[in-house]
Structure formats: C-alpha cells, structure tokens
C-alpha cells in the first residue's frame, strides 16, 4: 500500500484506501469523472460513500431530498413512478457506470421518482457539497455540460419511443434503445419491466416479442434475456410501421 500523490484509488474496494496496483479502470469508465486529472479523481472518490443493495431494494424514494450524485458501480437500477391508476411506470433504467444526478444543483430539490434495484447493485454516493466544490474546476464543469446534453438526447429518444402508436414498433424501438444502453449484446429485463417502460400490458408485450422472434429479428437468451439478431431489419421494421 502507498500514500504517494500519484497512487491510484480503487473505489470498488469495500475500504477506502489508495492502492499502487490499481489500474483505475473503474473510474475511467464513468463519464462524470474519466477526463479529470488523476489527483482530482482520487480526491473526489476518497469522499465518496460506497454502498451495496440487494435486488428489489430502494436506493431512494420519490420525495427524498437530492443530497448526492449516485454512480452505479455494478448492477442495474430502474427509476419508477406510480400513475393515477396505481400502475408502475419505468422512466429510466441505469446500468454499470451510469450516473443519477438530476437536481443536484437545485435548492430544496427532491427526487420525482423511486430508484429500485433490478439486480444486486453496488453504488457510490458523492455528496452535494463535494460536487459543488468540484464543479469549480473547468474540466469537471465541461463534463457536466456534456452529460446534460446526453441526458437531453436520451430523454428525447425515450419520448420518441412513447410517441409510437403501433405496439410492435414501440417494443422493437425500445429493444434497439436498450441494446445501445446495455452494451453487452443481451437485454436483460423482465417482461413486466419492459411493459412498464413502454406503457403496454405485459401480455401485449409478450405477444409482440413472440412476433419479433417469429420474424427472426430477436431471440430469447435465458428466461429474461433478449438478443437482437438483425439490427438492420429491426430498424426497417420500425421505420415501415
């Protein structure tokens, strides 16, 4: 172990320490931090709180104060609201290295949604006071602006999916969107979570998935996994609907 200024911090470890053997790949995969100088990454992450949650646990609830940036180190989280009929609606799904931080710079900001673990999940929390000090640095401020732009683009894409009236095209477009988000070639979501994401009934989603399988555009991978087999034809399918 070393306390040298150029040592690298391993944020995935359960204890906070600096390790000379860490290659820092964990931090360098996070858009919020990856372009910062190493000493800045270390200083910020040494203040971060590391937490583990079990599947179906709540990381925060609708109405809780926004007191920190939440970085998903490992696992998958869904952001949910409940509509007037008592049904769950998923407004976002976040995977490893994604960041939840909307509202962090607004006074008296509260979360407009719940954050629920779809899998066992590990997170870091970087508290507001530390983030506010950090954004005085020009490099991090630039990263924040870039992230805002990506979040806006992502929100526009989700709105486009919700605007599609044809159920088959909506499900197909959602699968294309999730595949780009997950980066691992397999979309691992339960039927109920897909349905809640596109505002369709689970039985409707099931039928549409079966149709896309029959057409040869996708395939099932285990109980809750879906793999896209032909991106070009699936895109054409959506465009022609």
Residues 169-209 have pLDDT tens digits of 999 999 999 998 877 789 999 999 999 999 999 999 999 99
Q: Is the alpha carbon torsion for 43, 106, 177, 115 positive or negative?
A: positive
Same domain? For 104 and 139 the reply is yes
Tokens of 17: 């320490």
What local confidence, expressed as pLDDT, does residue 102 receive? 79
Same domain? For 228 and 192 the reply is yes
Question: What contacts 60, CB < 8 A, 6 or more positions away?
Answer: 70, 111, 114, 115
Same domain? For 139 and 174 the reply is no
| Domain termination residue (choose one: 117, 138, 157) | 157
Angle, CA of 53, 55 and 59, to the nearest 5°: 45
Q: Which of 3-17, 27-41, 117-131 has the lowest mean pLDDT?
A: 3-17
- Report yes or no on whether pTM surpasses 0.85: no
165 CB neighbour count, 10 Å cutoff:
7
Same domain? For 142 and 170 the reply is no
φ, ψ of residue 239 in degrees (nearest 5): -65, -30
DSSP tag of 110: B
CA pair distance 100, 212, nearest whole angstrom: 32
CA pair distance 226, 187, nearest whole angstrom: 5
| Domain termination residue (choose one: 130, 157, 184) | 157
């Amino acid at each position: 172990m070393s306390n040298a200024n150029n040592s690298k911090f391993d944020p995935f470890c359960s204890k906070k320490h600096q390790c000379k053997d860490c290659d820092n790949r964990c931090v360098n995969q996070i858009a919020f931090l990856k372009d910062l100088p190493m000493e800045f990454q270390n200083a910020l992450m040494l203040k971060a709180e590391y937490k583990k949650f079990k599947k179906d646990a709540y990381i925060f609830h609708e109405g809780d104060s926004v007191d920190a940036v939440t970085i998903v180190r490992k696992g998958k989280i869904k952001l949910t609201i409940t509509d007037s009929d008592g049904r769950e609606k998923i407004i976002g799904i976040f995977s490893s290295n994604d960041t939840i931080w909307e509202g962090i710079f607004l006074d008296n900001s509260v979360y407009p949604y719940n954050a629920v673990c779809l899998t066992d999940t590990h997170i870091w929390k970087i508290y507001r006071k530390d983030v506010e000090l950090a954004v005085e640095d020009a490099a991090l401020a630039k990263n924040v602006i870039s992230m805002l732009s990506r979040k806006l683009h992502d929100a526009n894409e989700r709105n486009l999916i919700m605007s599609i009236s044809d159920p088959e095209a909506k499900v197909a477009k959602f699968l294309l969107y999730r595949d780009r988000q997950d980066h691992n070639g397999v979309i691992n979501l339960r039927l109920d979570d897909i349905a809640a994401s596109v505002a369709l009934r689970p039985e409707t989603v099931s039928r549409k998935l079966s149709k896309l399988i029959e057409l040869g555009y996708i395939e099932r991978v285990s109980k809750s996994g879906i793999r896209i087999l032909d991106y070009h034809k699936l895109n054409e399918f959506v465009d022609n609907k």
